Amino acid sequence: MTLPCARKNEILTQELFEETMVYDRVSHRAHVLNQTVALVWESADGQNSIDEIARILHHKLGLPADRSVVLLALQELGESGLLQEPVNAEPAPDRLTRRQVAQRLALAGASLALVPLVTSVLAPTPAMAASSVSQSQAETDLIDVALEAELDPNYYTNKTAETDLSAAETAFSKGNYSSEISDLDGVLKALGLPPLS
pLDDT for residue 25: 81
For residue 72, what is the DSSP state?
H
pLDDT(125) > 60: no
Section 45-56 average pLDDT:
93
pLDDT(137) > 60: yes
pLDDT for residue 91: 46
Q: Rounded CA gap, 34 and 16, in Å?
A: 10
pLDDT digit string, tens, across residues 65-115: 888 889 988 988 998 899 998 776 544 455 666 677 777 766 666 665 667
Strands (E), the chain: 11-16, 19-24, 29-34, 118-121
* Closest among 55, 58, 57, 88 to 71, alpha carbons compared: 88
Structural domains of the chain ordered from first start = 11-119 (1.10.10), 125-190 (no CATH)
pLDDT digit string, tens, across residues 157-184: 888 888 888 888 888 887 788 888 888 8
CB 69 within 8 A of CB 101: yes
pLDDT for residue 83: 92
176-187 per-residue burial string, b: 16 or more CB within 10 A, e: under 16: bbebbbbbbbbb
- In degrees and rounded to multiples of 5, residue 18 shows phi and psi of 60, 20
